[in-house]
Amino acid sequence: MKRYFNTLRIFWSASISAEMEYRVNFAMAAFSSVMTLGGTLMMLFLFYRTGYEMGGWPWRDALAVVGVFTFLEGMQATFMAPNRTRVTEHVREGTLDFVLLKPINSQFWLSVRTVSLWGVPNIILGLAIVGFALTTRETPPTLAGLASGLLALGLAVLMLYSLGYLLSTISIWYIKLYNITMAMQALVETGRYPITAYPGAYQAFFTFVLPVAFMTTVPARLMTGRGGTEWLLGAVIVAGLLLALSIGFWRFALRYYTSASS
Amino acid sequence: MTQAFAQSRTGWRRKLGVLFVVHYAEMLQYRVEIALWAVATMLPLIMMGVWAQAGESGLFPFSQVLMLRYFIAVYLVWQVTIVWTIHHFEFLVVTGRLSPMLLHPVDPCVRFILMHLAEQGTRLPFALGIVGLFLFLYPDTLTGGEGGDIWWPGWWNITLALAACYFAFILRFFMQYALCMVAFWHERVTALDAIQYLPHLFLSGMVFPFEVLPEPIREVLLWTPFPYTVWFPASLLVHGEAPVLRGFLTMAGWTVAFFILYRVLWHKGLKHYSAMGA
């Protein structure tokens, strides 16, 4: 276990110092995060100015969903996306051989190899929005609600990671992953608003097929005290299943890995 | 004299035809990726879910059926107006592959436009499939539901909308192509593109119908190019109540402005461009 922590520390400090070379890019990422958030807030304004409540959620609770989504977007850009592109590169160039030979779990190594600071503005903004939504509510969140909500948020990160890793595993067979990732990201956009704001067919698809509802709506639901423990239990089950699936699928895929030019 | 002129014209038509067929064949090789693009551009259909639900409440100027129609129309319009030339152009400049293209008698930008048209042709069947799925899920879109009328904008509006779509494509193309020219000085233009994409996303009517905006904001935005690339053609298809003359004139103005900007930067940029490694 200690070896894993040490590896993590070395990997991340190295990639952060490499990232520091591109400060302008970071500024642009921050600018576009703020603009995107502004656009989303404008959307909420357009809905709520008429007195309409999205899926029966008051605007502060819907704002919490926006915050959770923004936070997850940041986590994705910081920890997951940069590693995903590398898996594809390793497969294409055959350097995955060296990773497999290392005395460390290959999925761990491939999942944590780099971090990118591009997502940090979104992580901060997301948490700030959630904080604002919760503290300005008429009824402040209970301690139990907050704790279960944060736990669900952690599970949401795990779900997002597992889904992403499932996608990068496909690159063992099919190298042009960029477009699949884009397609999934477009669908995940649903999570920006409470799932109850969508019609029935959307709700079913984004709960049972692509569990976006468990990623953003459920944490916000628990934090704002609009849901009981059954939602937390659901999140635990979905996250557990997805993680098990990503591990199992990776092991299965490795059997088909034939290294470069063989 | 007239004969030579006629000959050169058919020559051009033939050249464009050949180039189009070549690019179409090229794009067909990538049909799996392009099919995924049809999914990756589904954002209007996702927003359709939220707005259709909201339309049911009766608090908005659009009923549920109009919301459904509007976002189906937006998705279709977007299929014709997506421009990705900046990603391609950055690659060409950074790797120096633009050089051989400069030796061709045809300006590279003609080729890029034909590539987009060929890619659109490849993507369209998949996009229509997705539209078909949503029409199947929400048949009210076509029939208008109980007591509603059937969705038929009329031939005149369809013609206007098609013209507006391709005009919008040309406008979006030159908007992005002018930005592409920055690639001659700066390596990562795609990062800039991400920023210009944001106003297009939030101010063009892609994620909400313009009718729900407060009047003063709407009036200001109607002077920008953004609403004419999405909201304007989509409105022609949905209810036909769009400022037709103003729409085409504003698009023409912005297109000319971006075209001039591109020509100026192109000439300056080429002087600066030394191909890769030179």
Q: Which residues of A touch B215 (CB under 8 A)?
A: none
B-chain residue closest to A185, CA distance: B40
Looking at residues B185-191, what average pLDDT do you find?
78
* Percent of chain A with pLDDT strictly greater than 90: 52
Ranges assigned E (strand) in chain B: none
User: Which of the residue ranges A167-176, A209-218, B123-132 would you say has the lowest mean pLDDT?
Assistant: A167-176
In the predicted model, is pLDDT for residue A63 greater than 50? yes
Residues in chain A with CB shorter than 8 Å from the CB of B33 are: 176, 179
Judge whether residue A180 has pLDDT over 90: no
- Among A236-240, B86-90, B95-99, B146-150, whose mean pLDDT is lowest? B146-150
Task: Select the residue of A25, A31, A189 nearest B46 (Cβ to Cβ).
Answer: A189
Residues of B in contact with A52 (CB under 8 A): 54, 57, 59-60
The per-residue pLDDT for B177 is 94
Residue A246: the pLDDT is 95
Q: What is the mean pLDDT of residues B229-253?
A: 93
Pick among B41, B46, B200 to test the A interface (most A CBs inside 10 A): B46
State the pLDDT confidence band at B2, using cuts at 50, 70 and 90.
low
The H or E element that residue B236 is part of is helix B231-238
Separation between Cα atoms, residue B250 and residue B213, nearest integer Å:
20
pLDDT of B216 higher than 80: yes
% of chain B surpassing 90 pLDDT: 56
DSSP states of B137-158 as a string?
H-THHHH-STT-------HHHH
Per-residue pLDDT, B277 = 42
- Rounded distance between C-alpha atoms, residue A223 and residue A140, angstroms: 10
Residue in B39, B40, B59 closest to A52 by CB? B59
Percentage of residues in chain B having pLDDT higher than 70: 95
Which pLDDT tens digit goes with each residue over A71-118? Answer: 999 999 999 988 888 888 888 888 888 888 888 888 888 888 888 888
Which residue of chain B has the CA closest to A24? Answer: B191
For A140, which DSSP code?
A: P
Look at residue B276 and tell me whether its pLDDT is greater than 80.
Answer: no
Looking at residues A120-134, what average pLDDT do you find? Answer: 94
pLDDT over threshold 90, residue B10: no
pLDDT computed for residue A262 by the predictor: 43
**What's the distance, Cα to Cα, between the start and end of chain A in Å?**
35
pLDDT at B120 over 70: yes
- Scanning chain A, the segments in alpha helix (DSSP H) are 2-19, 23-48, 59-75, 81-93, 96-101, 106-112, 120-135, 143-169, 178-188, 200-204, 212, 218-223, 229-254
Q: Which residues on A lie below 8 Å from B214 (Cβ)? A: 49
Residue of A nearest to B57 (CA): A52
Nearest CA in chain A to B190: A25
Write down the mean pLDDT value for chain A: 89
If one compares A22 and A160, the residue with the highest pLDDT of the two is: A160
What is the pLDDT at residue B8?
66
Give the Cα separation of B33 and B3 in Å (integer): 45
Distance from CA of B110 to the nearest CA of A (A): 26
| B129 or A27, which is more confident | B129
Give the pLDDT confidence score for residue B278 in this predicted structure. Answer: 38
Look up residue B139 and give its two tokens: 């048949």
For chain B, count helices (H), then strands (E). 14, 0
Q: Which of A10-24, A124-138, B52-66, B261-275 has the lowest mean pLDDT?
A: A10-24
For range A170-199, the mean pLDDT: 88
Per-residue model confidence (pLDDT) at position B192: 79
Statement: residue A21 has pLDDT above 80: no
Q: pTM score, two decimals?
A: 0.90
The answer to whether A78 and A111 are in contact (CB under 8 A) is no
B133 pLDDT exceeds 60?
A: yes
Region A29-55: mean pLDDT is 92
